[in-house]
A and B are shown apart, each in its own frame.
Chain A
């Protein structure tokens, strides 16, 4: 359908939020369902733009009635082309309903009515300062999520019917708070699937997808998805920052949402969440925030550990606005909404508790008891040469360690551990007699046998020492056994040695 511009009766002219000159006109007969229409002039009425708007008009007319009603509720869709002397100069759409408008105070012109575009949602301080009736605080994530869900629903509606929205941006969306609703305006850059004509490609400020950063003219579902993520990032992020760093979302949305932004703003168009994925996620967030939070999983890995070991606590929670983790030793860690894990040092056995809350209640869950075992004491025993056996049990030989350990001679880090968990000092060895067969050549001693005797004696003594004073007696007894065996061994060797010398002497005499 085409309307001649001479038929239009202009009620008022104004500049639309996106800068386009627009006029409110009396609805020509057969166009739209209301008494008024919006006449939007083409920015650049080239053939491609006109043909594209015509394809949008045709698309709408082919929709079943129910779907067309949904389309009209969500979009200011082109209804008819407007011609002047046979040339298309613009098109007609429905008007923005009053619930999408805001009355604000201006310093010099008094009160004015403006479309409540997303920049009002993104600047609550500004809205408050000029007396706007709707001020959505930046921390009111639940309400903001609801607006985002509505936007995702609208974009899904066109995507699922093969239409690319194109110029999605903060001035292309108007909002209503009662009921919470959105409407997308500035639709002349939409493109119906299959339309191949030349078309202007634009990206609203702050909405340029990564694949268009160098002037490329990509305009498809992938770029729409990027813009969707960028738009949500601005709505859900900190109002003070423009554009809000993604990091700031960590305190506002959960880990799943962070992951979706990660993909949505990434360079791979195919990995970006679809409008339907966004809608599902945002809708589930809205639902989960209308009841106390749900803790789906809460665990500690490893389940038990050594004292002072680093452990990781992980969880999966839905519908929370606040989250804290309490440790068995009384520390309380306030966690970001988007956090899903936390590393800490295991200091004491006990249960960890996760407390999640929102406006509807608090949910908490505890782990099983996580045991913190004391690490075993490590002792270094320097096995001396045979003659020095009396000084073998000297405990921790820090001089020796300093030469062997990369970290150097400082062992202060050991103090705490040993103070808490060290075993009793091994008793000094009793005064034992020294070997008296000094003339025995060392090469004739059975070192393997002697070493195994020493090892056995020391292992047993240390083991027994863990269980109290019995170890002292055992150590003495084992040491006695060891020395008697050693003495017997040496005596055997010495006897053999004497025999050999005796034989040599007697053979020389003969």
Chain B
């Protein structure tokens, strides 16, 4: 008689990216566009990724502008796999300091989820600590990036995604949160951040 076995359930890990910028803020748009382009390529290169990870981007207005399950899952177009369970393991906030400060209160980010805040544009270094204090996430890193290039943002996100995927592939689902938390506050990530200011707590 055929039985079905209790084989470990795969729950996708979710990276929740929020773009807290006013419309027309081209610098933030560039950061987000590069991130989603890179992630789309990663999904194309690695079929297993769609079983492990979901990356979504939502704008300050609240609407989703990118969802990897819809936009990247090759061969499975459409939202029909969205009902599968997933768990948010990392939140990322990107935007200029004033926009972030204005919207931080109603961002709805879970305080238990590790958080990376990427402050872009002029004056971000001055606002670094204010922005850092504005969020309640237990584990968070705030980065002040006054450069006009998303290069460091991309390399940081790539490191986080690679490390996260590596842990997922190694099958440590029960430690998703803690692994992301330790990644966000890790010294190795700090070592990557030359020329920018950051705060970790």
Q: Please give the distance in Å from A397's CB to the nearest CB on chain B.
A: 45
Q: How many residues of A sit at the interface, in one of the four size bands? A: 35 or more
Contact A107 B45 (CB under 8 A): no
Contact B74 A125 (CB under 8 A): yes
Given contacts A120-B47, A129-B74, A202 and B170 within 8 Å (CB-CB): yes
Q: Please pick, from B46, B76, B163, the residue contacting A114 in the complex, using a CB distance under 8 A.
A: B46
Contact A265 B7 (CB under 8 A): yes
Q: In the complex, which residues of chain A have a beta carbon less than 8 angstroms from the beta carbon of B168?
A: 205
Contact B10 A206 (CB under 8 A): yes
Contact B37 A204 (CB under 8 A): no
Q: In the complex, which residues of chain B have a beta carbon less than 8 angstroms from the beta carbon of A117?
A: 48
Given contacts A126-B47, A245-B4, A19 and B74 within 8 Å (CB-CB): no
Contact A107 B170 (CB under 8 A): no
Contact B2 A258 (CB under 8 A): yes
Give me 26 A-to-B residue pairs in the complex whose CB atoms sit less than 8 angstroms apart, sorted by A's number: A15-B162, A17-B46, A19-B162, A19-B165, A107-B40, A108-B37, A112-B45, A123-B47, A123-B75, A125-B75, A126-B74, A126-B76, A130-B44, A130-B74, A170-B48, A204-B171, A205-B10, A205-B48, A205-B52, A205-B171, A206-B171, A210-B6, A242-B10, A245-B4, A250-B2, A262-B2
B-side interface residues, number (CB < 8 Å): 34
B169 at the interface (CB under 8 A from A): yes
Tell me, in angstroms, the Cα distance from A108 to B40 when the chains sit together. 8
Interface 0/1 of B29-53, CB less than 8 Å to A: 0000000011011001111101110
Contact A18 B171 (CB under 8 A): no
Contact B45 A114 (CB under 8 A): yes
Closest to A123 in B: B47
B8 at the interface (CB under 8 A from A): yes
Tell me, in angstroms, the Cα distance from A109 to B6 when the chains sit together. 40
B interface list, Cβ under 8 A from A: 2-8, 10, 37-38, 40-41, 44-48, 50-52, 73-76, 162-163, 165-171, 173
Tell me, in angstroms, the Cα distance from A127 to B76 when the chains sit together. 11
Tell me, in angstroms, the Cα distance from A338 to B3 when the chains sit together. 13
Given contacts A205-B52, A208-B8, A246-B5, A104 and B162 within 8 Å (CB-CB): no
Tell me, in angstroms, the Cα distance from A1 to B4 when the chains sit together. 48
Contact A265 B5 (CB under 8 A): yes
Closest to B173 in A: A205
For chain A residues 165-181, which have a beta carbon within 8 Å of chain B?
A: 167, 169-171
Tell me, in angstroms, the Cα distance from A106 to B40 when the chains sit together. 8
Given contacts A109-B41, A125-B76, A119 and B5 within 8 Å (CB-CB): no
A447 at the interface (CB under 8 A from B): no
Closest to B40 in A: A107
Tell me, in angstroms, the Cα distance from A250 to B7 when the chains sit together. 18
Q: Please pick, from A105, A250, A338, the residue contacting B44 in the complex, using a CB distance under 8 A.
A: A105
